[in-house]
Amino acid sequence: MTNILDCGHAPTPNAGIGTGYATTQHEKTLCYDCAAAAQRDKMESDGKISLYLTMNKNGDNEITDWTGRLKFRTRLVRKGRHNFARVRYDVWFTVGGQPWWGVQYGDDHQIIHCKRIKSA
């Protein structure tokens, strides 16, 4: 028998080493597609989120969630210096027609802190 998650779906099949589901801070279980939709909703309501700066198969940078279901193409990535982490990456991208900016400190992880910015 297939387990049904709190979102009403079964766990995401072929999740690789993952469980096939996400757990929210309120301990609700969501399939990967519903988790991505929930993160997108949170981005729009809060105007900030931590995601991942990754490189796709074509060698282009993109912003993703941990499941890879939520993806945003980067418009510009600028590498700069940082006094503690040695390097920082400033990234600009668009979500639903709104401009966003993110920053990643250091080269030893992919976590990028993102926030919505005002239009120019």
Domain ranges of the chain: 21-116
Whole-prediction pTM value?
Answer: 0.85
Q: Return the number of other C-beta atoms located less than 10 Å from residue 18's C-beta.
A: 14
Sole residue written with tokens 């940082």: 82
Alpha carbon separation from 96 to 41, 91, 114 (Å, rounded): 11, 16, 15
pLDDT tens digits, the chain, 120 residues: what are they? 358 899 999 998 876 778 899 999 899 999 999 999 999 999 999 999 999 999 999 999 999 998 889 999 999 999 888 777 788 999 999 998 999 999 999 888 899 999 999 865
Backbone angles phi, psi at 44, to 5 degrees: -65, -35
10 Å CB burial of residue 58 (0-12, 13-18, 19+) is exposed
At 8, list the tokens: 């009403």
d(CA 41, CA 59): 28
d(CA 80, CA 9): 43
Q: What is the DSSP letter of 69?
A: -
